[in-house]
Structure 1
Amino acid sequence: MKSKERRNGVVLVHTGTGKGKSSSAFGMVFRAAGWGMKVLVIQFIKGQWQTGEQKAASRFDNIEWHALGDGFTWDTKNPAQDIQTTQDIWAFCKQKIATGAYDLVVLDEINYCCDYQWLSGAEIAQFIREEKPAWVHLVMTGRGAPPELIAIADTVTEMQKIKHAFDGGIKAEQGVEF
Structure 2
Amino acid sequence: MKTRERRQGLVVVNTGEGKGKSSSALGMVFRAAGWNMKVCVIQFIKGQWQTGEQKAAQQFDNIEWHALGDGFTWDTKNPEQDIKTSREIWEFSKQKILSGEFDVVLLDEINYCCGYNWISGQEIADFITHDKPAWLHLIMTGRNAAPEVIAIAHTVTDMTKVKHAYEQGIKAEQGIEF
Residue 150 (structure 1) aligns with:
150
Asked whether 1:159 is paired with 2:165, we answer no
Shift of 1:101: 1.1
Correspondence for 1:125: 125
With normalisation by structure 2, the TM-score equals 0.99
In structure 1, the partner of 2:59 is 59
Q: What CA distance in whole angstroms lies between the structure 2 residues aligned with 1:56 and 1:75?
A: 29
2:175 is matched with 175
Partner Cα separation in structure 1 for residue 105 and residue 46 of structure 2: 17
Mapped partners of 2:82, 2:57: distance in 1: 26
Q: Pairwise mapping of residues 85-164 of structure 1 onto structure 2 (< 5 A)?
A: 85-164=85-164
Deviations 1:101-135, CA, capped at 9 Å, x for gaps: 11111000000000000001000011101111000
Q: 1:27-52 CA distances to partner (integer Å, 9 max, x unpaired)?
A: 00000000000000000001110000
One-letter amino acid of the structure 2 residue matched with residue 86 of structure 1: S
Number of residues paired by the alignment?
178
Q: What secondary structure, in the 3-state scheme, does the structure 2 residue paired with 1:74 have? A: coil
Specify the code of the residue in structure 2 equivalent to 1:31: R
Give deviations 1:59-81, integer Å, cap 9, x for gaps: 10000000000001001110000
1:129 alignment partner AA: T
**Equivalent position amino acid for 1:155 in 2:** T
Deviation of 1:99 (Å): 1.1
2:145 corresponds to which letter in structure 1?
A
Q: In structure 1, how many angstroms separate the alpha carbons of the residues matched to 2:149 and 2:139?
A: 11
**Structure 1 gaps, min length 5:** none
Post-superposition shift, 1:22? 0.1
* Equivalent position SS for 1:46: coil
In structure 2, list runs of 5 or more residues that go unmatched: none
Aligned-partner SS, 2:157: strand
Offset at residue 10 of structure 1 (A) = 0.4
Letter in 1 for 2:4: K
- Residue in 2 aligned with 1:43? 43
Corresponding residue of 2:73: 73
